[in-house]
Amino acid sequence: MLFNRSKPEQKVRQLISKLLATAFNLSEKQVGSWLTISSHDVLICLPFAAGQLHGALEQQIRAASNEQNVTLGHIVFETAIQASPTKVSKVSKIKNIVAIASGKGGVGKSTTSVNIAYALMAQGAKVGLLDADIYGPSIPIMLGNTESTPASRDDKTIVPFAAHGLVASSIGYFVPAENATVWRGPMASKALEQLLRETDWPELDYLIVDMPPGTGDIQLTLAQQIPVSAAVIVTTPQDLAVADASKGISMFNKVSVPVLGLIENMSLYICPKCGHQEHIFAQNGGVELAKRNNVPLLGQLPLNIKIRQHTDSGTPLLVSEPEDPLSQTYMQCALAISKQLYLNGLSDLRIQNV
Ligand SMILES: Nc1ncnc2c1ncn2[C@@H]1O[C@H](COP(=O)(O)OP(=O)(O)OP(=O)(O)O)[C@@H](O)[C@H]1O
């Protein structure tokens, strides 16, 4: 029979499906399509970036197969991220554009964008970073790339600059910060769209876009005219920032860009000498906002001098100290973003199939 799989193969499939379903809180049916089994060899093609878990998953699979006397050969993990649908036409070679936004300025949106970009890369995705913050393009400084100017190989497209393995570009090359205050939404979005479409990006799973802070005309036009797959909102826990972040969520809802969730930055300060914890910017503001809006809390980062020192000196934490617990927190946020975008795609499919 055409669909009759051999018994040992079926056993391997059942065992691995069960483990993956538990690990990612999905159904066995959902994870079943990730598996290709040939004889005793297994290829696991994950639809989101979860590189940090590959080793532990393999160990769990091998332990379970020993216990159940199931013979296993090679286990290979791959990352195969799908493109999500957008209203505006997509940029060639870029599967997903994820906007990182904040209602209020200075909450750590650029710092988060940079570290999330590296964390997604460390999780196994192909990632680029676009600095769209016309008011204060800080990405070149954070990537240690202040000297570079846009170059072109063919006088038509711009070559993005490379920084510690990441490709990036900045609107700051084209919009002098001192002029930004007089820019209107259509002007900013035109400049950004040109930069986006005329940059010679390599194949990317994700392009992270560091948006300008705020929820005004410029942000609304950018969110509408750029083919954004989804947005992530960064906030600090204090009331003022949370109120503005809430406006940010409403803005993306208005233009039907799904909000993947919230990252609460500067959640608390832990004294490195005595370990005392202080909620300098109030407590749980982001947590409550996420609950109120029924969006996931993707992660919480403390106020920590290492984050500032590394980012401000052009070697972000993920690059300089990838094993640091704070880097691991960024890794978990990156995994949550990637997985949430995948889950959004599943619910889109369900809607289309109704
Ligand atoms: N978790 C953190 N711990 C310590 N310092 C942080 C943290 N997050 C950000 N910072 C620091 O706070 C400052 C502001 O951060 P950043 O520039 O990322 O904010 P922003 O929201 O992008 O600002 P803007 O509104 O200007 O775009 C930077 O000096 C950065 O290094």
Q: Burial-class residue 328 by CB neighbours within 10 Å (0-12, 13-18, 19+).
A: middle
- What CATH number has the domain bearing residue 226? 3.40.50.300
* Domain co-membership, 307 together with 162: yes
Check: pTM over 0.90? Answer yes or no.
yes
Calpha distance 30→19 (Å, rounded): 12
- How many CB atoms sit inside 10 A of residue 292's CB? 11
Calpha distance 161→302 (Å, rounded): 30
Ligand 1 center to 110 CA (angstroms): 6
For residue 212, the ligand 1 atom closest to its alpha carbon is 27
Ligand 1 center to 235 CA (angstroms): 11
Choose the weakest-confidence range: 21-30, 142-151, 247-256.
142-151
Checking if the pLDDT of 261 tops 50, the result is yes
Ligand 1 center to 307 CA (angstroms): 9
Residues 284 and 325 sit within 8 Å (Cβ to Cβ): no
Pocket of ligand 1 (CB under 6 A): 102, 105-111, 133, 136, 138, 213, 265-266, 301, 303-304, 307-308, 311-312
* Domain co-membership, 349 together with 256: yes
Of all protein residues, whose CA lies closest to atom 31 belonging to ligand 1? 308
* Domain co-membership, 33 together with 172: no
Of all protein residues, whose CA lies closest to atom 8 belonging to ligand 1? 108
Ligand 1 center to 266 CA (angstroms): 9
Residue 35 φ/ψ, nearest 5 degrees: -100, 135
Can you tell me the ipTM of this complex? Answer: 0.98
Q: Is residue 118 part of a domain?
A: yes
pLDDT tens per residue across span 268-306: 888 777 877 888 777 788 888 889 989 999 999 999 999
For residue 113, the ligand 1 atom closest to its alpha carbon is 18
Q: End of a domain among 79, 109, 135?
A: 79
Residue 7 φ/ψ, nearest 5 degrees: -60, -45
Q: How many domains does the chain have?
A: 2
Beta-sheet pairing, 204-210 with 166-170:
unpaired
- How many CB atoms sit inside 10 A of residue 101's CB? 30
Calpha distance 63→111 (Å, rounded): 39
For residue 301, the ligand 1 atom closest to its alpha carbon is 1
Of 298, 321, 300, residue with least CA distance to 309? 321
Q: Is residue 2 part of a domain?
A: no
For the ranges 118-132, 181-195, 243-257, the one whose mean pLDDT is highest? 118-132
Give long-range contacts, CB 8 A cutoff, 24+ apart: 315-320: 315/144, 315/164, 316/111, 316/114, 316/115, 316/118, 316/142, 316/143, 316/164, 317/115, 318/115, 318/118, 318/119, 318/122, 319/118, 319/164
Q: Which two tokens stand for residue 187?
A: 């002007």
- What CATH number has the domain bearing residue 15? 3.30.70
Calpha distance 72→39 (Å, rounded): 9
Of all protein residues, whose CA lies closest to atom 5 belonging to ligand 1? 308
Calpha distance 123→339 (Å, rounded): 11
* Domain co-membership, 71 together with 152: no
DSSP 82: P
Checking if the pLDDT of 353 tops 70, the result is no
pLDDT tens per residue across span 196-235: 989 999 999 999 999 988 888 888 888 888 899 999 999 9
* Domain co-membership, 71 together with 127: no
> Which residue out of 104, 110, 236, 266 has the highest number of ligand 1 atoms within 8 Å of its CB and is therefore the one to mutate?
110
